[in-house]
A and B are shown apart, each in its own frame.
Chain A
Amino acid sequence: MEHIVIIGNGISGVTAARHIRKNSDKEITIVSAETDYFFSRTALMYVYMGHLKFEHTQPYESWFWKKNRISLKKGYVSKVNSSLNEIEFSNGEKLGYDKLIIATGSKPNKFGWPGQDLNGVMGMYHKQDLDTLEKYAPDNKTCKRAVIVGGGLIGIELAEMLHSRNIPVTFLVREQSFWDGVLPKGESEMINREIINNHIDLRLGVNLKEIKSDAVGNVKSIVIAENGEEIECSVVGLTAGVSPNVDFLRDSELEIGSGVKVNRFLETNLTDIYAIGDCAEQYEAIGSRRPVEAVWYTGRMMGETVAQTICGNKIEYKPGHWFNSAKFIDIEYQTYGWVWAQTRENEARFYWEHTDGTKCIHLNYDKNTREFIGINNFGIRMRHEFFDRILTEKRTVDYVLEHLADANFDPEFYKLHEQEIVAKFNSENDTNIQLKKKSWKRIFSKSL
């Protein structure tokens, strides 16, 4: 029986393991240095905030692994000896494999700031980061101020976490507006407002210069590069992006760029070794996606795909239409298709924002063919299946607006805004789109 070894017990590795088990009787071992059992990294913030206990972040009860004959091994892999078909642990132990899947995820970026290794400095990615944060910022007496460096998804989550314990936060964002590499102006400014309305000290357009230490190696303050301002703090969160966690592979025979290089079949340059999830880098990016996709959903999809290949049904990783979601403090965000921060040559845009400033939608479509390209929706939930079908069927933006009532995914009795949205589009574009009433038949017509 073939032995499949998977390095990493995150969503990618575990999905691969589960699907391999569903389709075969191969021996499976999942290795992890982080935790005993798979847990959902996205939920770490809720543990700190008191919404969940750590056990609640584990999708499977502890008997699940034995029942499905998936072995779990705790240990830090220091080396992959591809010529011997074995991996080596930091304690000298070795484990042989027939096929190896590398699913080691990401690590927080550190750009060589002075003081970046002091006590009280941490990323927010691993379980260990959560423990460190709990140690240095249990309340606002122990931590009188925290500084977050890096305005992205993890940064804003860390801000929300600290805010939940009434710890004052200064948020250093390099860009001129929050996450404006990804979000267009209207949405980005909405998030700026949301951060400020939650009494977080948002600093746009600034960089970290250094982190200063006290006499015993703890964080004392940070210094801003642009103006030399020194801000006293006892915790510094480094959330300036993540990179593939592959340093331990750089002296192996594997081809490594920023991540482990893989082809469309998720195969590395070495036979019988695959890489999936955050740590994998496509030789050629797929469509408009990035070569490294550090996203929960794509990790899961790669796990589903590589399992097929390993079980004899060799198929390419072919992600469907792009989608993503996040939450910016109290504002939920979903996106389907592509909505670039800057409007492209062939694109026309439509932006609607609610008068209360916490809900908006942004449509992107081709200005000539009117084909729908993508949507950002903040504060209004939209149906994934609806937009997936729109993109598959290459519908126009007019069709989308006409059927917008079918797309709504808010709970019952919520106030609906479709009329307002369509009316605004009509008035801006001199069109006469009539909003159709919501139809179950249309919504579920693909469920059979």
Chain B
Amino acid sequence: MKLIKQTGLIVFLIGLSIFTASIFTGSFSLTQSELDTFIQEKGYKSEVIKAELTKAIVTEEDLNIFEFSSNVRNAFEISNKHYDALIAKYSAEKNWSKKGAQYQYKIFGKPHSLSFALAKKAGKGFATENTGLLWLLTFGFGIIGALMYIVPDVILLGKPGIKNNGIFLNAATNRGWIGWFAFLFLVSFYILLYFYPDFIVNWVYLVDPISTSISGNPASQWFLYGFLYCTVMTVMAVRMYIKYRHNKYQILRTTSVLFFQIVFAFLIPEILVRFEKPWYDFKNVFPLDYDFFFKWNLEELLSSGSFGLFILVWGIVLTVVVVPVMVYFFGKRWYCSWVCGCGGLAETLGDPYRQLSSKTLLSWRFERIIIHTVLIFVLVMTGFALYTFFYGANQVLGIQTQTIQDIYGFLIGSIFAGVIGTGFYPIFGNRVWCRFGCPLAAYLGFIQRFKSRFRITTNGGQCISCGNCSTYCEQGIDVRAYAQKGENIVRSSCVGCGICSAVCPRGVLKLENGPEDGRINPTEILLGNDIDLMNLVNKK
């Protein structure tokens, strides 16, 4: 068994290495006619861009992706600079009509995204010619190796029960060197994905066949991300099933997030595109789905017939009706631990790291401020976006709507939710985004705290203050403080993952939905002591 594990680890690492190395392979170039077709499809009006791009990438040379990217970005820059110069010239001459006429020649878009679009068409080499084989060598090895590492634990871990042996003694899970490597790898991955997609175009080729078979379109970097996400979640879900097989709640919950991720966040949206409907994840709730009310999205929905209208109504009803009602009955957990994609990855890939969340009071103070700031940010931004949509004004109170959208998208959507949210798993725990940033979490949390039937009941006087609950709470709640007072846990940050209950060695914690009355019950003297003393102190 141990041999299978060790072999699996090696296989996985080989797959990962080939995956990483594949970035550096291949050469990129276009023929003149391919370039002409591209420019025509994109509708670039610039008279300069064709010449520049031809110089850049119509070549017999073997350009690797970095050279290709650099050349392309250079070409776009030259083209845009040319027209910027003209704009400045006419501006100085006060020739407004001529100045205005220049803007149509400018090409907008992030340089690396523009480069990605070209690179996707320009690839030659192992990744494009042997996609299937390379898929097997990367994804295949990764999946098989990981499963070989995980599955023997069914036997090696022994009988069902709490399986946390060695977590703080292992460099992978105790902020040791393996954790740091994983941290660097994840952060790099997200930075490449969001900001340098052209560099990883070889990875996107790997999933082209899969994308085509579902939606009919070649893959974008987001399809790659979605596919990776589902794959990682599935493999790590197997690990969850084995580790928590003594706990039905964990098994059902893991299945639920896996289902919602694969079906709702991955398959359905791609199938919708196949039927020429908008790409939409039905379980993505505003304000987590922060661009739902952006002008481009509203316009797309409204121009997609009755189906688009249905999505618009569904999105609003989801936030305004479904969320409060579900939180009332079940607490925040219905979404954060059973449906949400971020939560799904956190509970599967992030399970080895939940104990790394900070439990200090200081963290909680910081958390409260920052998460509500993000909520205010997203609400203000949405206000701007709706104003822009309804009144056609590009700016509100002197601030460009597009600018505030860009800032949010960059800072919160990409850096906070992506790079920090997942990248920080191995060092700061698996719920950094959920705990410190997610505006939906703040909204759900309000309802859970003030108007819900959900609580974690602590079993009378049975707590022995061991600290397992607090240590394994991914949200950094000091669960023990409540348990050792026999007090119900009602906290806006509790996502109801149920792990505290699963790791408690004395059966002190139970997640339940019960009557609102008496849900919050401060307790100083515990059950088991003199009943008169309890009445005296607890009722005070």
Whether chains A and B associate is: yes
| CB <8 Å contact, A440 and B514 | yes
| Whole-angstrom CA separation of A316 from B252 in the bound complex | 49
B528 adjacent to A325 (CB under 8 Å): no
Q: Which residues of chain A have C-beta atoms less than 8 A from B481's C-beta?
A: 59
Whether a CB of chain B sits under 8 angstroms from the CB of A248 is no
Least distance between A105 CB and chain B CB atoms (Å): 15
Type the 1/0 row for A286-328, where 1 means its CB is closer than 8 Å to any CB of B.
0000000000110011001100100001011111110101110
Q: Which of B167, B468, B501, B515 sits near A50, CB closer than 8 Å?
A: B167
Complex: chain B residue closest to A40, CB-CB: B465
Q: How far is the CA of A59 from the CA of B470 in the complex (A)?
A: 9
Q: Is the CB of B168 within 8 A of A42?
A: no
Query: Is B525 interfacial (CB-CB < 8 Å)?
Result: yes
Chain B interface helix/strand/loop/mixed? loop
Q: Which residue of B lies closest to A334 (CB)?
A: B507
Find out whether the CB atom of A59 lies under 8 angstroms from the CB atom of B480.
Answer: yes
A392 to B160, CA, bound (A): 36
**Does B461 lie at the interface of the complex (its beta carbon under 8 Å from any beta carbon of A)?**
yes
Which residues on B sit within 8 Å (CB–CB) of A42?
464-466
Expressed in whole angstroms, the minimum distance between the Cβ of B187 and any Cβ of chain A is 25
Q: Is A3 interfacial (CB-CB < 8 Å)?
A: no
Q: With A and B bound together, what is the CA distance between A412 and B456 in angstroms? A: 12
B154-165, CB under 8 A of A: which get 1 and which 0? 000011111011
Does A11 sit within 8 A of B, measured CB to CB?
yes
- Docked-complex contact B518 and A444, CB < 8 angstroms: yes
Q: Which residues of A lie under 8 Å from residue B536 when comparing CB positions?
A: 313
- Is B510 in the interface zone, CB < 8 Å from A? yes
Interface residues on B, range: 35 or more
Tell me which of B506, B512, B537 has the highest count of chain A C-beta atoms within 10 A of its own C-beta. Answer: B506
Contact A413 B252 (CB under 8 A): yes
How far is the CB of A59 from the nearest CB of chain B, in Å? Answer: 5
> What 1/0 flags go to A418-448 for Cβ under 8 Å of B?
0000000000000000000000110110011
Interface residues of B in 134-176 (CB under 8 A from A): 158-162, 164-170
Question: Which of B162, B248, B361, B460 has its CB near the most chain A CB atoms (within 10 A)?
Answer: B460
Binary CB contact string for chain A from 72 to 114 against chain B (1 if under 8 A, 0 otherwise): 0000000000000000000000000000000000000000000
B182 at the interface (CB under 8 A from A): no
User: A50-B170, A319-B529 are contacts. A59–B467 as well, Cβ < 8 Å?
Assistant: yes
User: Is A384 interfacial (CB 8 A cutoff)?
Assistant: yes
Given contacts A297-B528, A330-B159, A332-B506, contact A323 B514 (CB under 8 A): no
Residues of B within 8 A of A409 (CB): 457, 459, 507, 510
The docked-state distance in angstroms from the alpha carbon of A440 to that of B510 is 14
Which residues of B from 336 to 392 have beta carbons under 8 Å from A? 360-361
B531 close to A (CB within 8 Å): yes
Interface residues of A in 359-413 (CB under 8 A from B): 381-385, 388, 392, 409-413
Say whether B502 faces chain A, with CB atoms less than 8 Å apart. yes
Q: How far is the CB of A327 from chain B (nearest CB, A)?
A: 5
Would you call A22 and B524 a contact (CB within 8 A)?
Answer: yes
Residues of B within 8 A of A40 (CB): 464-467
Knowing A301-B529, A319-B529, A412-B511 touch, does A49 contact B466 (C-beta < 8 A)? no
With the chains together, A413 CA to B255 CA distance in Å?
13
A164 to B512, CA, bound (A): 32
CB contact between B460 and one of A52, A58, A323 (< 8 Å): that residue: A323
Verify B531–A447 contact, CB threshold 8 A.
no
Residues of A within 8 A of B502 (CB): 411
Within B24-54, the residues touching A (CB, 8 Å) are none
Q: Does A119 contact B (CB under 8 A)?
A: no
Those of A28-71 within 8 Å (CB) of chain B? 40, 42-43, 46, 49-53, 56-59, 61
A444 cross-chain contacts in B, Cβ below 8 A: 514-515, 517-518
Taking the closest CB of chain A, its distance from the CB of B534, in whole angstroms, is 8
Q: Quick check: A411 and B248 within 8 Å, CB to CB?
A: yes
B518 close to A448 (CB less than 8 A): yes
B179 within 8 A of A: no
B533 interface contact, C-beta 8 A: yes
B429 to chain A, nearest CB (A): 14
* B471 sits at the interface (CB 8 A): yes
Greatest chain B CB density within 10 A among A49, A198, A321 is at A49
Partner of A320, one of B462, B515, B518, B527: B527
Residue B326 lies at the interface, judged by CB distance under 8 Å to chain A: no
Residue A227 at the chain B interface, CB threshold 8 Å = no
Cα–Cα distance between A153 and B17 once the two chains are bound (Å): 49
Q: Which residues of A contact B (CB under 8 A)?
A: 11, 19, 22, 40, 42-43, 46, 49-53, 56-59, 61, 164, 197-198, 296-297, 300-301, 304-305, 308, 313, 315-321, 323, 325-327, 329-330, 332, 334, 381-385, 388, 392, 409-415, 440-441, 443-444, 447-448
**Could you name 7 residue pairs across A and B whose Cβ atoms are closer than 8 Å?**
A313-B536, A318-B533, A319-B528, A329-B161, A409-B507, A411-B249, A447-B517
Q: A50-B166, A384-B528 are in contact. List 15 more A-B contacts (CB 8 A).
A: A43-B468, A49-B165, A53-B168, A57-B467, A61-B361, A296-B465, A297-B462, A308-B533, A315-B532, A383-B460, A409-B457, A409-B507, A411-B498, A414-B247, A444-B515
